[in-house]
Structure 1
């Protein structure tokens, strides 16, 4: 009996011919992942004699299987059934060994915390609508359990090649103050608030006040977290070394926290700072970044003007710089004066930068500049200062507020508004300001954020001046913004002339404010 081999789409076909032209065909197909091999046979009778060719036997099929480099997982029973088959049924004649996946370690948190929604492998999103109350545990309470995983098993494909199994991921965590490890459990060793941030477990001391902070309690200054299950009355002060939660109102009072602050009541005529020293550091970073941007823009302007009128007038770079400061960059002097004042108040913290400003920018100093490149060391010093300050900033602290009026609020992280909104107040957030409720209002005062403001309603029908400000390349959004609302980005202003909806303000072409909107 003669024969030949056909290859088509990874299939190997053996066709045997008898002398009277009867045919038998064996087709073997391998899956793309080389984990399965399929086979079928078919027999075609001789048209003259009406006889079928002899069936394939096991030895013939096994030989062909080896020619296809199939060495692992051959199903002998399936091969026997294939030999007995009358034709056209498909059989799985070989199976690889699947990888048994590893089981990663699991950290099981045993206390109520903020709801965390996984967005992708590297990013987590806090659901600000469901921030939980502070949980207090006692010594011995199990705050977490580490459930150990195990490595899986390697697989083997039908061509006898190993498929490597990834090792299991071990839980990454460490412990800090107030917790210990007992076997596979993280246990509180003191009374306080359990915390798991940046994969660090701790229990922070908590001071609970089951009522108001008033004259009977005195001002509160505590190294850890503070829970106030009442109001903070007029002229009282709360200082928390970590976070704080206030169930009631804050009126004509002061609250200062280094960690998160949640206020369930109203804030009236009060001063609030959240984030401690990080707020001051972020202010300094904003000032240095703004100064750096202005100086870079100033350099670019000088280079453009050198080829025009000032070149023909034989003006030096220094003379051009002084003219530009007087005519276009007048706020540069204001920033310099502010830094000089801050430097005096902080014991010469910025002396190097201040000295360079005095030498190159302030007063008649620019006239002594021969080349605009003399500003480069100052720009470099500002950038270095920003890098150093950024390293010292801790995890941003956030604030959660329902309603505030006639208050001053500063926060190093996000300010999240879950109620009526903020009225006639000066507000500053290091990162973002979010209005979560459809009718939350930002009205009056100055609302400033480092990167983004997402408001629902900005300003008022009565056209109360409301300033929404972001730094750098930040963005401002408003579902509804009323006329006379001012958008300020990186020192540039835009005043809304008409009541508008779906407003988006940002820095566009030409380094100018672009405002996308629809008129109401």
Structure 2
């Protein structure tokens, strides 16, 4: 006899079984979704082997599903949107599906009809009320949901709040004539004439309140105001919104702690060179040199210096920007009040110690007065000496160290020269009758740190090429053409070589923010870099040594796309993006 597997099939809900022949395999059935198989009244949960002997004992039952409805609300994190979540399970009329003959079949159902639960607008509004949602309810959307039939499962935006509208910060806007200043760096004598408007203040515009879906007001971001102040040769209009020039000259806007101070500096013009015919130059305003600053002649200006030619073998100090149309060769430059980071930290420590010292003196003298003790035994000078020697010994060390370290700032030198004798010989402290001398010293340092260092951070040098020079600047060095060779540059902000063939070859370059150059390095010696934020060099022409506060990397000749940033731990790590140099290239102080 031939071996033949048995078969089973479904037709019109009736199960038919045909037994196997010979050694063939018996047919099998499995319950699908919504189906239960019973044999002789017992429910079977697994695959069942069937035969004609039990065909009459097999009962197939359909599990009818009951309709259900679940409505919920999802609120966005900013509380500006509410979504209706609909989850409906329809009631279904099911029947057994026909199955073709096979040795194994899965018994499944098919739906004749789905009847979904209905949703009313009242239900939705009550749900919103339950969640205390009262603002921005979209009744049109809710009505639209009501008109739809069938499967409404999904997510619907049914309430939306109103965002707070951002206001506009106050701005100081330069006059058109002032804006022309950068376009005529070496041609203009007085960029603003007497009586002209230098700039005006555009008032801040407050933002508008918003409302979230719970009817809570949302405050707009606060706007920043600016106070316009009149400086040298400037007068404000009665409404304090316009700055008018009282004299012709070069305008200067100085930003500080929410204020913009407007100055007019007189400009002095040297039509030729700074040389033996002019001698060394010292001028409080702007200086425009139509020629060169020649060998061994020094220039010191209180504002901007513009040199149409070169600076060579000279010492230059400015409290404003330096513009050199051509080159800087073998010169020393001090632009603004640049100080090493170590000195800045020391200044802040000295200020802190002086504040604590003052409190200590007041406490001791106050307590002695309360106890009606003989105050002659508590002379201010004696108390100061005892406190410094016993409680604040580092103050003496810091003051003597900073006094020796200051090189570029004449003003800071003056402050320390007045106070240092008291700390070189501590016996001198006992001659102090009150603490005003130390208080004045502290206030001077506070003003210096707060104003000079911060403000001079916007100063820049713009030049074509630098060679064999030393530069200390309270801002950035922008090299427009060839680059820099064998120089030492210390910049509070950045060092940027703009041109594509530009380079930094040999020497030492330190910037508290960014260093950027297409090429760097020399075959003759190592080139050193120290950065505070990021460095990008497209190609190393020689060995580069790159340092951060707590890391050091050696870059070999031929390396390309060198792009490091300093992480929160002071380590050098690969940067994901190029440094943003555009913000350093703008000449506009605003």
**Scaled by the length of structure 2, what TM-score is found?**
0.49
Query: Which stretch shows the higher mean deviation, 26-35 or 416-425?
Result: 26-35
Q: Which of 477, 483, 492 lines up with 1:415 in the alignment?
A: 477
Residues 65-100 of structure 1, C-alpha deviations (whole Å, 9 max, x = no match):
545654445555655565554444689695344134
Query: Over alpha carbons, which structure has the higher Rg?
Result: 2
String of CA shifts for 1:401-445, please: whole Å, max 9, x gaps: 32234545443443333322334556554665444444434456x
Which of 251, 261, 265 is residue 193 of structure 1 equivalent to? Answer: 251
Of residues 231, 236, 240, the one that matches 1:180 is 236
8 A Cα contact 2:177 2:192, kept in partner: no
Per-residue CA deviations over 1:164-190 (Å, capped at 9, x if unaligned) read 223541323442412524647332324
Q: CA deviation at 1:205?
A: 0.9
Show CA shifts across 1:352-403 (max 9, x none). Answer: 77679xxxxxxxxxxxxxxxxxxxxxxxxxxx9xx88856853244323322
Aligned residue among 105, 111, 125 for 2:169? 105
Quickly say closer, same or farther: Cα 1:455–1:95, change in 2 above 3 A: closer
- Structure 1 residues 176 and 414 mapped into 2: Cα distance closer, same or farther (>3 Å)? same
**Does the 8 Å contact 1:113/1:132 carry over to 2?**
no
Does residue 231 (structure 1) correspond to residue 287 (structure 2)? The answer is: no
Question: Cα RMSD between the aligned structures?
Answer: 5.8
User: Equivalents in 2 of 1:274, 1:182: separation in Å?
Assistant: 36
Matches within 5 A, 1:78-477: 83=146, 85-88=148-151, 94-107=158-171, 109-110=173-174, 136-138=191-193, 139-157=195-213, 160-166=214-220, 168-177=222-231, 178-181=234-237, 183=239, 185-190=241-246, 191=248, 192-198=250-256, 199-207=259-267, 209=269, 211-214=271-274, 220-233=281-294, 236-275=297-336, 278-279=337-338, 282=340, 285=343, 339=404, 350=420, 393-394=452-453, 395-396=456-457, 397-423=459-485, 427-429=489-491, 433-443=495-505, 446-447=507-508, 449=510, 451=512, 457=519, 460-461=522-523, 463=524, 465=525, 468=528
Q: How many residues align?
A: 389
Shift of 1:448: 5.4
Contact 1:99 1:163 in 2 (8 A): no
* Alpha carbons of structure 1 residues 249 and 79: separation in structure 2 relative to 1, 3 Å: closer
Conserved? CA contact 1:74–1:93, under 8 Å: no
Q: 1:500 to 1:213 in 2, by over 3 A?
A: same
Distance 1:285 1:72 in 2: 57
What is the CA–CA distance in structure 2 between the aligned matches of 1:72 and 1:271, rounded to whole Å? 67
Alpha-carbon distance change, 182 to 137 in structure 1, aligned in 2, over 3 angstroms: farther
TM-score normalised over the length of structure 1 = 0.54
| Contact in 2 for aligned 1:43/1:87 (Cα 8 Å) | no
Does the 8 Å contact 1:176/1:201 carry over to 2? yes
Gaps of 5+ in 2: 1-63, 95-111, 348-399, 408-412, 427-441, 575-590
Instruction: Please give the alpha-carbon distance, in whole angstroms, between the structure 2 residues aligned to 1:413 and 1:132.
Output: 21
In structure 1, what is the equivalent of residue 542 of structure 2? 482
User: What is aligned with 2:380?
Assistant: none
Residue deviations 1:464-515, cap 9 Å, x none?
x5664759x99998642536x888999xx99x998564689999xxxxx99x
Gaps of 5+ in 1: 1-19, 116-130, 290-334, 357-383, 508-512
Give 1:210 deviation, angstroms. 7.5
Taking the aligned partners of 2:345 and 2:206, their CA distance within structure 1 comes to 52
